[in-house]
Structure 1
Amino acid sequence: MKKRTFLVFIIFLFLAGCGEENSSKDNKEDEDPKETETTVEQSTQDEKSKLALTHIRGGLYIESDVEYDSDLSKINITVTEEEYINLIKPIILSTHDLEDWEGLVVDPILTASGTILENVSEGYTIDFKYMEGNEEVLLLSIKDGEILYNLADEFNEEPVRDVAHMTESEMTEEILTILRESYEGEMEVSYDEENSTFILLPISEDLKDAIVSMVLHTEVADAWNEHVVKNTVGLSESISTLQDHTLVIANPSNPELYVLAVYNGVVMYNVTDDY
């Protein structure tokens, strides 16, 4: 009796094991091979995207926000470095110096696109832009080392100003336009013809507070020199190709006094020198 019971138990275990095996086989057969393949491909694509972003962030010398649009396989680079923006604005607004444009805008992004194509994969588009207020300005779009859009192509849609034959007053108006575009909403721009001086008067509350604070508290001098002074020097260097000039920032508390004076890209006076 015990032998029969034991034999029945063994047969039961065998049948149960076969049932589990068949069930396991059925489950495997139920799996969609296409779904598995898609999951693997998606994982691979995600890894490639991360690698592409690593190449961009590691090789880009310009301060920027970098984001990836997976739907379009597009890397969006939005420049945040004010000094760089101040270098390219005069090219866009006035000088149309294509040699400088190539070096500042086209070459670094072409290099980045080529690096991704060589080390990661094809199919990635890079959009290079900056913000003008709330509006995006697209500078360049490249895919697999090929230029899809270049803002410089639009330069010739308008007559390029012949700087060599511009009168002094035309040159002054050109610089005023550049400065007003660059400091819109932040500084009021005027020109002292007698002293060939462009005067920037802070009008935004944040900027006025920052300057007053800087004048009163020496501990913010580093931030002043790193941002305001450096950006002003860069812009002054750019417009010095048009006209010899002095560029000053007035003290918002007393506009008769200056907190910064730059002559053709060279700092002549900085209020932090008085500390």
Structure 2
Amino acid sequence: MSAPAIALTDPSAVGLDLDLDPPAGTGVSEADYWAYYYEHENAYEWNDGYLEVKPVSDTLTIQVYQWLLRLLHYYLDTHDNARLTALEMGFRLSLPDKVAIRKPDLGVVLDSNPIPLADLDRSYKGTLDLCVEALSDSTPAEIARDTEQKRREYEAAGVREYYILHHEPSWQRFYRRNAFGLYQPIPADEGVLQSEVVPGLRFRLEDLQRQPGPATMIEDAVYAPFVLPAWQRDRQVLEDERRARQQAEQGRQQAEQARQQAEQLVRRERAEKEALLAELARLRGDS
């Protein structure tokens, strides 16, 4: 079922007051959710007939999320093989026991996905290839929502990789579906996590805290293949030109030095010859 363009019920007929912000747990139909609450400023999600309010992450966790988002933008500037969803855009999960509509903080739709993300889409009609949630830890229920509930939902829906971000590494989780459709932790090779879903995307786990900038990443073998490669090529061209100019200048200086040495040799030989002739003339005069 895709998102309906209009509501299937009259809000006044079912007691909906659109001037009020209903609390989490308010029961609404899926049609009314799409019509009245999907684009609501409270960023409601919908879980099996009930509204849920997306919690807010702390500043440090948001910075972790923003760094990974920048990394994905660098990656896509190079590979151009996927599109991103963020924050307000949701997708429908038709699960064995229920239906839910989730708005992950970040989603990746590969160009190879059978359902493309269209330019004018306001919701994604397929299953995201990668979901990222920035964990809110205000309450145990908020923690469980991302680490347990959404993990089960994304796993069952077929989201191939799921990342949970937080400013504390102990709360970070990175999952990949195995051949049986179950999430398993993604192993890190010498501290580097490599995505299989997004080919070529990788990052050092400690960099989620360090958050290096592009000037550092282009010198790092982990990121150099996809972070600003055109800039790196331009920089290499400029460096090659600088070295060529430097070598040309060194050659000119060496040529000038050789010319000066040759002139000095000629002057010295001339002076020695003149001195010798003068000595010969003096000896002749004495005799």
Same fold, judged at TM 0.5 (above): no
Flag the structure with higher helix content: 1
TM-score by length of 2: 0.21
Flag the structure with higher strand content: 1
Q: Who wins on radius of gyration, i.e. which is larger?
A: 2
